[in-house]
Structure formats: C-alpha cells, structure tokens
Structure 1
C-alpha cells in the first residue's frame, strides 16, 4: 500500500509540472517568436518482487520539457525593422554590457539613439558590415550608416529624341539635361542640333562657363526610314578641328557612342560622359530617330546624383540592409547574421525570448539568409507564437484527468490502509 501511495504522489507531482508547462504555453500565445513546449514522462525504476522477474513500478517522473521548433504564423507590421525568419535560423544578438551572445526568433527590432539595431531590451543585433566598395566585413553590430551619401559624377546619359527630317538648313533644336560633377554640383548640358538641310544634323554641347567648359561636337545622319546611321561621327574635345577652304572639318572623326569631355571648375574633377545611342553590337538602340515630324525630346536619363540624406532603410530576403537616400541612391551597408544549431531542443532558455548556446545544443553555426540550411528574412513581418490553443486545452483536460486519477489512487490506498488498521480493532 505504501508503494501505491508513493506512485500516486509521483503522478500528482508530474502532472502538476505538466500543468505548469501548459499554463506557460497558453500565457505566451501572443508572445512574438515563442515556441510551445511539450512534456515527456518516464517511469520510475521498478522493484523486483521475486526471482522470476516479477516487477512493480514505483510511479512516474517528468522526463523532459521539449520546445517545438516548427515555425509560427507570420504577421505583417508597419515597421521595416520588424523581421522574421522564414525557415531555419535564429537572429544573433549581444548584450552590450557583458558582450554575451544570445539567439532569438523574435525580430521586433528598432534603431536606438546611437543608431544601433536593438531588441526591446537593448540587445544589439549582429550582422556583417558592408563598406562603400561593397566588400563584406566581419560580424559586428548592425548600425545606421553615415546620414549622407557621397555625390557621384555623371558618366553616362541617354536621350530619346526625334529630329525632323524635313527641317531646313540652319534650323535648330536644343535638348537640355542636368548632370552632376564629382562635387555633386549641377552641370546643365545644352545639346544643340543644327540641321544641314539634307536630313543630317550637326550637334555641339554648350555648358555654363561658370560651372565647366566643353567643346565636344559631331554629326549624325539617318537612312530613308528615319533610323540612325550608325556611321555617325563626333569630334572629341581633345582634337583641334581645322577647316579647309570649303569650311569642312579636315581632321579625323571618332566613331561609336560620343564621349562628352567636360573640364571641371572650382575643384571638381574633369568629367567624361558617354552619350549612349548605340547598343553593344554597334547598332542604333532606337533612342534617336529622324522621322518627318516635329523635333522633340521624349525621354532622357543620366546616372549621376548630388549628395543625399538618408531617408529610410529597406531589408531584403537575403538580409541585406540598404540605405535609401534623398538623391535616389540605394547603398547596402549590412547583412544580418543568422545562427543554426545541431540540436535546437538543447538551447537554454534565458527569458525575454532569448536562447543561449549549451553543450546539448552544440556550437552555433553563423551564416546569412538563404545560404546552407538557413531560411530567408521577411521585413515588416513578425513571427507569432506557435502555440495551438486547441491542442493546449486538450492537454489541459488530459492532465487534469490524470491528476484526478492519481488523487484517487492515493485516497483508495488510504482507505485500504484504514481497513487494515481496523482489522486489529
């Protein structure tokens, strides 16, 4: 009878612990990145009653509490620094006061006053730095880049232009475009086209002499269908053009896409801008036409920009953080780190949605999203708890019934013992 009492008591203890785990699961049903746990039980060593091997168990004990690492559902948010891992992996964070490293699935991050990406408790998110040349560095704190981006001088421009094939000799058409020098200052180019009366056009580039100097020019012609003659030539600014008695240029012309050479002023570097109207095969790309209709500009583009201020930050599925600046430039500055483990169930719970490496989990394998076994990263998204309330309520009812049954074992054993005591009376 004493044995049955101990067995019943062990059942009460085990199911009390199980109910505590179930309660913890239910309490964290709305906790970001929380992983539900399951309790496992084991029987206590049996007693052998005879040489024949007859054994009687001594009750039950809680064998373990095992986190379930299947992914929770993803919920969209309005914050670009809310991140979730699609698949395997945990974010890596460090405690700035101790330098200790922890891991989490809860990607509710924000920028602190020092520009570091941190958890709500101030732990700093780790990633790989990216310099201005695009080179990826070592693991470090993810922090906002410099608030301004450097200017970039224009190196290429394009026009979408139609030049009227019926234009008379001396008719002009001017197309202006704003370019930028190495200091980010505007340099407005006026490309002036002058009709020669036979379907061809001479062109030259004018600039404001207070910002730069330029004397590049050339000549373009079209076939009977209005398509650009790819043998069109231009005269480089480094070439001195000599005229013969008829007023025609006598020095050699340069073929291919024109290169507009500009001498910078006020400390700006000289500019060399390719005007692209030929494709890689040397054929016309269709941007310049000579149809019998009004001369007009339909499009233009150039690749330079002035200095800009940081406006926002985007994060892609590979975990790259890209600064978006007011000048239109987009510059990656970091890539978030993810950690994988040989055994996730061996991770030590540290509270605040954090886990720590342990002997049971094995050493962390640090990498980046979409590499090896690691999943992708979703921005403006949070992973919800993977607690299933329906399952938890079923477990709760089962545990309650088990507790009641073990209580009955104790009361019944007590009644039997009472009967034995009463026999003596």
Structure 2
C-alpha cells in the first residue's frame, strides 16, 4: 500500500511544482493572477489512508502592483472587476489592459479581442449621452470629423471701472456711440463666435458709461460694423449687477450659414474700482475638427479629442464581476471564460458597486510574489523527495522479505 501512497504523493507534488512553475513563468505577464495547488487526503474506508490527491487548483485574484506608462490606451483596474472582451464568437474576461486601436477603430488587445462597453445615443451629437444600461458592444472610435456647431450661448466675466465718467463733448453733452470713434465709448473687448458652418464670427463689444444715470452702462455688440445686440447694465451700490445680465446676439453672417442667435450670460459682471479687465469669456460654438487622439476617464468614458479643442464621449468601458471568481475557467492568453460555477456576469461602469476604478496610462502587474513562489518551490521539492523516499523504503522492505530463507 505504501507504493500507492508514495505515487499519489509524487503526483500531487509534481502538480504543485507545475503550478509554481506556471506562476513563476508569468511573473512578468500583465494582469496575470497566480494559482495555488490544494490537496486532500484519500481514505476510501482504509484506516491507514490511501495517500493524497489534488482537490483543486485555485486562483488568487488579489490586486497586482500598478505601474504607470506613457500610453493613453494602457488601462488598469484598481479594485474589483474584469475587462470584457469579444472576438465575435466568445466573450472572455481579462485584467490585462494593454489595448490599442486597430485599422477599423476598434479597441483591441494583443490577441485581437475587442474591448466592449456601453455605446452613446448619438455619436454626431454635440452632447452625446452614454447608454449605461444598454447591452455592451465592441467599442469603435469613429474616424470621421466632428461637425461644426453654431454658438447658441456663452458667458463673460469682467469688471467695469466704477470711477469712469461718461463720454461727453465740450458742452457736456453725451457723445453718441460710434464704434469708429474711440472717444464715444469707455472700453472695448471682443468675443469669437461660430456660425453653423464653423466660420469664426468676431463680435466686438463696446461699453459706454451712462451720462444720465449712476451705476449704469450700455454694451453695444457689433459684427462686421453692424450692431447685433445691445444691453443696458445696471449695478447696485455694492457693484453687483441688477439688470441687463443677458446680452442677446442675433445676426446673419451673410456667408450662406444660418443666422446666429445666442444668449451671452453677464451675471458675473461687476462694477468696482480698478481698471476694466476681462476675467473669463467663453461660448459653446466651434469649428469642424478631426480626431487627434483618445483618452479614457476614470469612469471608463472613452473620450475623443479633436483638432478644434473639443472632446466627446465615444462610449464607456464596461466592467464585469462574478459572484464566484474561482468558478472562472482559464482560457489562455491571460483571459477567463464564465462557467456555471462562476455565475453570470454582473456588468457595470467603473467605480460603481463592487467594481474598481479605471486608471489610464497604467498597467496592473502580475500578482506573483517571486520570493514566496521560490520558497514554496523548495518545500514542494522536498515533499517530492520525501514521497520518493517512502517508495524507496517500501522497496527495501520488500527486498528484505524476498531475501528471507
């Protein structure tokens, strides 16, 4: 019987050494998760026992070290979850975030598996919405240009000098506003807007201090010499705006594009001591732009970056988790497939529920501890030698019995 016990021990120790060797071989594999050989004794009604068997090879899904890189498409999951990949036939799961964009705009790993995620409702929209509840699809980055968008709103923040005086002539009469006459206005600035074809339309703004009312100004907006909007600004004794806080622009760019109708928010304009200074100015229009690159946000949003300084969500990386990660079946190429033991995939966005956050320009290293594996290998080797010794001892006993006279 000792032969059977010894052989079972040799087989078990050999299996453990195989597992350790596999771990060591993949100590530099991105996203690799180490395994462990677990044993159970064999009795089958025998008092002395029949030896040992490999009861399971379990996987350890502990977090690997995070290392920064210089690639926008390198991703790491900090916390729970797996990347969800498809080759068109089978869905696999991985912690390896080494992605690249193929010739068709799909985000793929080194074996061609396509990263899946949630699509957006309208990729051509100025403000696409991610459909986080939809079925994940292979993420594809559209290579077309981003269409131009006309200005419809904007805002400006500036301070008007409270010590300024009205522009009057030698007789004390207010000088009529004339954009070509600098003596008819106190200050001037400009705001670039865009028409529906993406052409820049310069709007020049002139500020005239009232000659008849304290704390009152008139702003004249001109495009190509034509007045396209006006607003009367009033302030209280503390310099806070009390009226005219919206400048309505309306004009025809006269180039075949649609009329521009935009509301410029002036709610943060003040009238205090000090020089006229524009602190902030912006609007929501832009010219057409071509794709210059992509990046991935912490929540998994795939953001397209365009030459017109715009960015748009093109989709969102979907992460998957499982009730029983140990039930996942290794499928090679650093990936797993779901089984009945793992349960169905539980999908979600990064940072929700038990799913970790996503880090771009980062990779998760193997969670193999080389020092620990080498120590375990020494123990497994001694175990193998010890079991071999039991077989040798049993052989000597049998030889002694055969030699009896």
TM-score bracket for this pair, using the shorter chain length = 0.7 to 0.9
**Aligned equivalent of 1:206, options 212, 217, 222:** 222
Q: Which residue of 2 aligns with 1:230?
A: 242
Once the two structures are overlaid, the 10-residue window that deviates more, 19-28 or 362-371, is 362-371
Which sections of structure 2, spanning at least 5 residues, go unmatched? 169-174, 176-182
Name the CA shift for 1:413/1:355 in 2 (closer, same or farther; >3 Å): same
Structure 2 SS opposite 1:138 = coil
Report the equivalent of 1:57.
49
CA contact (8 A) 1:84 1:378 kept: yes
Provide the C-alpha distance between the structure 1 equivalents of 2:44 and 2:228, rounded to a whole number of angstroms. 101
Bigger radius of gyration: 1
Deviations 1:169-211 (A, max 9, x none): 23323322211112211111122334554565443222127xx
Counterpart in 2 of 1:302? Answer: 283
- Are residue 142 (structure 1) and residue 123 (structure 2) matched? no
Distance 1:81 1:216 in 2: 46
Q: How big is the shift at 1:93? A: 0.6
Find out whether 1:342 has 2:323 as its counterpart.
yes
Give TM-score scaled by structure 2 length. Answer: 0.86
Match of 1:246 in 2: none
**1:297-355 residue CA offsets vs partner (Å, 9 max, x unmatched):** 55433232111222222212211111122222221111111111121112111111011
1:85 is aligned to 2:101: no
- Structure 2: distance between partners of 1:324 and 1:275: 26
Distance 1:319 1:294 in 2: 45
Tell whether the 8 Å contact from 1:214 to 1:263 is kept in structure 2 after alignment: no
Helix, strand or coil at the partner of 1:260: strand
Whether 1:272 and 2:284 are equivalent positions in the alignment is: no
C-alpha contact (below 8 Å) 1:323/1:330 kept by paired residues: yes
Task: Indicate which of 9, 27, 30 corresponds to 2:28.
Answer: 30
Distance in 2 between the 1:162 and 1:39 partners? 76
Cα distance in 2, alignment partners of residues 389 and 70 from structure 1: 15
Taking the aligned partners of 1:8 and 1:222, their CA distance within structure 2 comes to: 96
Equivalent position SS for 1:12: helix
- How many residue pairs get aligned? The number is 379
TM-score normalised by structure 1 residue count: 0.83
1:402 alignment counterpart: 383
Alignment of structure 1 residues 97-176 onto 2, 5 Å: 99-130=89-120, 131=122, 132=125, 133-136=128-131, 137-154=134-151, 155-163=153-161, 165-169=164-168, 170=175, 171=183, 172=185, 173-176=187-190
What's the counterpart of residue 42 of structure 2? 44
Q: Given the superposition, is the C-alpha separation of residues 350 and 206 from structure 1 closer, same or farther in structure 2, using an over 3 Å criterion? A: same
Tell me the secondary structure at the aligned position of residue 35 of structure 1: coil
Q: Does structure 1 conserve the Cα–Cα contact (< 8 Å) formed by 2:235 and 2:270?
A: no
Find runs of 4+ consecutive structure 1 residues off by over 6 angstroms. none
For residues 263 and 157 of structure 1, do their structure 2 counterparts lie closer, same or farther at Cα, with a shift above 3 Å needed? farther
| Aligned partner (choices 7, 10, 22) of residue 9 of structure 1 | 7
Structure 2 distance, partners of 1:129, 1:262, is 37
Match of 1:71 in 2: 63
Q: Cα distance, 1:370 vs. partner?
A: 2.0
> 5 Å matches for 1:283-302?
285=268, 287-289=269-271, 291=273, 297=278, 299-302=280-283
Q: Find 1:312's aligned residue among 285, 290, 293.
A: 293
Moved more, 68-77 or 311-320: 311-320
Specify the alignment match of 2:171 in structure 1: none
CA RMSD of aligned residues (A): 2.3
